[in-house]
Amino acid sequence: MRMLRQLLQKEGWYLAETGLPIQVGVKFGTSPFGKEHLHRTMVEYFLLVAGSMKLSAAGQTLEMKKGDLLVVEPGEKHEVLECSPDALLLLMMPPEVAGDKVES
């Protein structure tokens, strides 16, 4: 058993080095997001806990609101375009695989 307290208080990746089949990321709307990219084999889950955001995924522009979950499949390019200052995003995906992330 593991307990991660106050997980949503600090931005970063969690559980990546534990050998578990998932890592969890926390991102705030006030910090920059990465460039457009895709994953060759990994699925990435975006759960918006607070605020709103706009993303590009698989050639579509999507508006997300609090409580929305977006599942990005392998090979689908995606990028966060903008988000509200109060945005709180939970990212979930398997632990990093070398060479899986491909930036555009």
Is 21 part of any domain?
yes
101 in a structural domain: no
For residue 28, pLDDT beyond 90? yes
Entry pTM: 0.92
Provide the CATH number for the domain around residue 36: 2.60.120.10
Overall domain count for the chain:
1
pLDDT of residue 41: 96
Q: Is residue 38 part of a domain?
A: yes
Tell me: pLDDT of 17 over 90: no
Say if residues 102 and 29 touch (Cβ distance below 8 Å).
no
Q: What pLDDT sits at residue 43? A: 97
User: With bands split at pLDDT 50, 70 and 90, how would you rate the model's confidence at 102?
Assistant: very high
pLDDT tens, position by position, 55-74: 999 999 999 999 999 999 99
Whole-number mean pLDDT of the chain?
95
- Domain of residue 42 covers 12-96
What is the distance between the terminal CA atoms of the chain, rounded to a whole angstrom?
39
